[in-house]
Amino acid sequence: MTDIARRRLLALAAMAPFAGALPAFAQSQSTPEAEPAAPGAQDKRLMEMTMGSADAPVEMIEYASLTCPHCAHFHEEVLPKLKADYIDTGKVRLVFREVYFDRFGLWATMVARCGGPLRYFGIVGEMYRTQREWTQGADDAAIAANLRKIGKVSGLTDEEMNACMGDQDFANALVERYRKQASEDGIDATPTFIINGEKVSNRSYEEFRKILDEKLG
């Protein structure tokens, strides 16, 4: 990763928490602090988000941005078929890793992860389904308000969202993990996939099926 890209990520992290900074999301005076995890405990908001069996013979890592139209198309048109034919049948385990090309993608990730692993993919799916709507707004506050609406429709409370979105350490951890993973896997576009160690660009369902069938032998 270049120095320019690294500086850009640090800037994104600094801008990330918008509880208080953006009144449309939350007022700083009423934003509760995130409760620290117990020593040795794992913050569930930072867990690897996966679909499918941990024992699946094929691992498919997806790097995607929640503001990326091509990623939305994959999740709307291709993933449901892959899920039915490969993930739900125990053949493939999908690992979803967020990419941050803009601060709105980072904000969206924080909202999605506020719900924990059980609600995560439902929130992500709604964000992709309504991507054209929630990414439109006159200013940052409008985007923040749109994200809050998605969170509330998905069952998140104001308290849950305020705690997550005002947590600078949470934002920093997400950005640092993305920086490390993207650097290791050479990610410079979305969506990009790593299938059993092989880097693969975005494909149609039929093309993915051919690759997966070859991996499955």
- Comparing CA positions, the residue from 190, 149, 174 lying closest to residue 61 is 190
Domain housing 151: 3-23+47-216
Angle at 59 between CA 69 and CA 37, to 5 degrees: 80
In a domain, 30, yes or no: no
- Report residue 12's pLDDT band, with 50, 70 and 90 as the boundaries: low
In a domain, 100, yes or no: yes
CB within 8 Å of 217: residues ≥ 6 apart: none
Mean pLDDT check: name the lowest of 54-68, 84-98, 136-150: 136-150
What percent of the chain clears pLDDT 70, i.e. is strictly above it? 81
Q: Average model confidence (pLDDT) for the chain?
A: 84
User: Which pLDDT tens digit goes with each residue over 108-132?
Assistant: 999 999 988 999 999 999 999 999 9
- Decide: 17 and 167 in contact? Cβ < 8 Å: yes
In a domain, 33, yes or no: no
Report the first-to-last Cα separation within the chain, whole angstroms. 35
In a domain, 37, yes or no: no
| Beta strands at 198-201 and 92-98: parallel, antiparallel or unpaired | unpaired
In a domain, 65, yes or no: yes
Angle at 149 between CA 48 and CA 130, to 5 degrees: 70
Helices and strands (H and E) in the chain: how many: 10, 5
Between 187 and 35, whose confidence is greater?
Answer: 187
**Per-residue confidence (pLDDT) for residue 147, from 0 to 100:** 93
- Decide: 184 and 46 in contact? Cβ < 8 Å: no
In a domain, 8, yes or no: yes
Where are the extended beta strands (E) located within the chain? 49-51, 58-64, 92-98, 192-195, 198-201
Euclidean distance between CA atoms 174 and 73, whole angstroms: 24
Mean pLDDT check: name the lowest of 9-13, 29-33, 170-174: 29-33
Q: Collapsing DSSP states into helix, strand and coil, what is residue 182?
A: helix
What percent of the chain clears pLDDT 90, i.e. is strictly above it? 65
What average pLDDT does the segment 163-175 reach? 89
**Per-residue confidence (pLDDT) for residue 9, from 0 to 100:** 52
- Decide: 34 and 73 in contact? Cβ < 8 Å: no
In a domain, 182, yes or no: yes
In a domain, 73, yes or no: yes
Give me the CATH number covering residue 207: 3.40.30.10
Domain count within the chain: 1
CB within 8 Å of 108: residues ≥ 6 apart: 66, 67, 127, 134, 147
| Res 73 pLDDT > 90 | yes
**Per-residue confidence (pLDDT) for residue 187, from 0 to 100:** 94
